[in-house]
Structure 1
Amino acid sequence: MNLREKLAANKFVITVELDPPKTLNLDKILTEVNSANFRKIVDAVNVTDCPLAKLRMSPIALSHIIQEKIGLEAIFHITCRDRNLLGLQAELLGASALGVRNILALTGDPPEVGDYIMATGVFDVDSIGLVRMVNKLNNGYEYSGNELKDKTDFFIGIAVNPTAQDLTKEIKRFEGKVSAGANFIQTQPIYDIGLLEKFLKLTAHINIPKIIGIMPLKNYKMVKYLNNNLPGIFVPPEVKERMRGKDVEEGVKISRELISKIRKFKEVAGIHIFPLRDMNLVCRLLN
């Protein structure tokens, strides 16, 4: 069964975030994702698209390599930052031809947050427009409305933040993405079960698979950074205090507790793990 079939069959899935390297050598990444324990518990890997506007290998290329060499399904990220309407569609047609058909459609981090502040942020569309574009390709049409000879078959994922400061606005955008053709969601990391429960109740009318983000905390410094620098992520005081003077072992313990609670929600279709480039954390969390 592929990811689409597993979610349709209500199988609880595990996906893992993977940053491509800034090198041509893929030995380390391929070894990590090809380990027996990793492949036994992970249904798909998300391959990011130059996250934080920093140079990385093409997510489509790496996704194709992982699927061909390892046999592990990939979800490639594509952002609106680096390509205009023509470039986005060209990339999507190429991905489809390569058999890389799970996608996470994102607006993308602006160039000024990364190493190339002189780069042009294109943003011909936002993530809602990108989902609409992919859905048009799935129906055999270019974004312009011109008919194509073939239809793509992308399984369209989107990102949603259950702990957004303006949750009403976030849910409205969520609804817009689903109306445009989104098939599943993966959320930002969750540390507060109460906020997740509120989000699930407010989005009960949106009937697509919801995969919930988990990011193990490595130390107290990381907690402070998340709360002070990333408005979309909230670490509650009780979790913050548990990490005071502690290391990743406590972070793994907290994440395991969160996963156990998250699995009890019937609305949840799976877990999306942000391992912060430490694939060993995935097996430690789930074994």
Structure 2
Amino acid sequence: MILRNKLGRQFVVTVELDPPRGPDPSATLEEARSLRGLVDAVNVSDSPMANLRMNSVTAAHLIRRETGLEAIAHLTCRDRNVLALQSELLGAQALGVGSVLCLYGDPPSRGDHPEARGVFEVDTDGLIRLVAGLNAGRSCAGRDLGSATAFNIGVALNPCAADLERERERLHAKVAAGGTFAQTQPVFSAADVERFLEATGPLPIPVLFGVLPVRSVKMAQNVGRWAKVPEALLKDLEARGLEAGLAWAARLVSDLRALGVDGVHLYPLGKSAAVGRVLEAARV
């Protein structure tokens, strides 16, 4: 069963992978193979943190072809104008990449090519509308394409945002633009998700909540710069290190499943072996 048909019907697990730094995809493919039978799909990021990586659509196609895993290609507004974005999407459809996650993208100044210029010709909502237009068989210039794409259109959410009313508004704007499912930034407690659900009310699309297995106190402190890491997790990491982080992630997956959410999106940050351990402990 393809991801589109699983969402909203069963508890879905996706995992984020970074594409290779160079032209050899073998390490990324091996990482993807290790996830077969464990997850429903893998995400392939688009030059994350504005650092050079293999094209996400190419990597997603190779993963699908070589491992049989469905792959969600990230697509950002950063590097392409509307002509290039549409061209990329038409190629993705031809290569069998059926799902894309629409993102704004980190500015080039953050990455390994700080002299590069960001494009940002459209914002995230504009990118979502662009994909939805291709799904309707027309270009953003209004030209009939002769046939339509059939993308499952992913959007991003932050359940721990300071302004949850604003996040609710952003969710509905992204759905109005054409979003069909969402994946979120990492959460670290079921209480965070409950607050988010209370603020948003009934979710208009399936949402997969992010889970990040923290491996050390140092990693937790770095994550704490942009997310709320519970004090209890920090103390447990001080005492037990990696095992504490994996156990916390497994409990969180179990708690979220008990809440009745649509699924989870795991961020192993290059340590895909952690995925199996977390899901086994969570009995998923």
Scaled by the length of structure 1, what TM-score is found? 0.94
What is the CA distance between 1:236 and its match in structure 2? Answer: 1.9
* SS at structure 2 position matched to 1:244: helix
In the aligned structure 2, how far is the partner of 1:168 from the partner of 1:61? 37
* Alpha-carbon contact 1:219-1:245 (below 8 Å) kept: no
* 1:243 partner amino acid: L
Structure 1 unmatched runs, 5+: none
Name the counterpart of 2:74: 77
Quote the RMSD (CA, aligned, Å).
Answer: 1.2
In the aligned structure 2, how far is the partner of 1:164 from the partner of 1:193? 15
* 2:256 partner amino acid: I
**Where does 1:1-287 land on structure 2 (aligned, <5 Å)?**
1-8=1-8, 10-35=9-34, 38-228=35-225, 230=226, 233-266=227-260, 268-287=261-280
Query: Deviations for 1:24-78, whole angstroms, at most 9, x for unmatched residues?
Result: 222222223223xx21111100000000000000110011111111111000000
* 1:198 partner amino acid: R
In the aligned structure 2, how far is the partner of 1:103 from the partner of 1:200? 24
* 1:192 partner amino acid: S
* Alpha-carbon contact 1:190-1:196 (below 8 Å) kept: yes
When structure 1 is superposed on structure 2, of 194-203 and 106-115 the one drifting more is 194-203
Structure 2 unmatched runs, 5+: none
In the aligned structure 2, how far is the partner of 1:116 from the partner of 1:166? 32
* Alpha-carbon contact 1:220-1:245 (below 8 Å) kept: no
| Percent of aligned pairs with the same amino acid | 45
What is the CA distance between 1:243 and its match in structure 2? Answer: 1.7
* Alpha-carbon contact 1:138-1:153 (below 8 Å) kept: yes
Query: Deviations for 1:192-244, whole angstroms, at most 9, x for unmatched residues?
Result: 2212101112223332111011000110111111112x2xx211222222222
Query: Deviations for 1:148-189, whole angstroms, at most 9, x for unmatched residues?
Result: 211000000111000012222222111110000100010111
* 1:188 partner amino acid: Q
Find runs of 4+ consecutive structure 1 residues off by over 6 angstroms.
Answer: none
* Alpha-carbon contact 2:175-2:204 (below 8 Å) kept: no
